[in-house]
Structure 1
Amino acid sequence: MTNLAAAQEQVWLYDTKLADAKVAIAEQQADFISSAHAHYQKALALETHSPVALRGLGLLHLDQQEPAQAKEFFTQYLQLNDIKDRRYIESLVKKI
């Protein structure tokens, strides 16, 4: 569901203004991203070559328009053995 669709649903369900709903959803999304980043960092602290954490941080940074950081995590991820989405991540790195 897109942010706009979620905002429209919130307006319909709770009779709020669309602008207020968009702000609330943007705040929720920022909290989610911050929480995900913290959890991936904790995972890396426990296992420095965690494929889930390296891939997740790369995707988070890519989504946040931070290509240098995304490329750094993707590069580490691609150095691991037995990753199933190597071609996909390589295609992302080429676009950075």
Structure 2
Amino acid sequence: MTDEATDTQVPPIPTYLLDPRPVVILGTLAWTLALLAHMLMTDIDMRTVVLCAVGIGVGAVGSIVYALQRRAVLRGSAGAQQGLDFDRG
């Protein structure tokens, strides 16, 4: 008798689900569109303008951090974060 739970193999997660770039890009684009839409209004509330600008800034900083970490992984740095080379050969 073999245990069926130990014989099954877990399939790998598809590459398109591992890539955070589309989510970050779409989120930053959504904040940018919200900022532009709000700026076209006649009655502007500065709190929402600042909120949208901070959303864009967080997306930009996140993109920069991800790009630096990915570059370190692809370079082979010993202290680099693991798992960012999901689409490399």
TM-score bucket (shorter structure): 0.3 to 0.5
Larger Rg: 2
Question: TM-score scaled by structure 2?
Answer: 0.43
Between 1 and 2, higher relative CO (CA 8 Å, sep ≥ 6) is seen in 2
More helix by share: 1
Question: TM-score scaled by structure 1?
Answer: 0.41
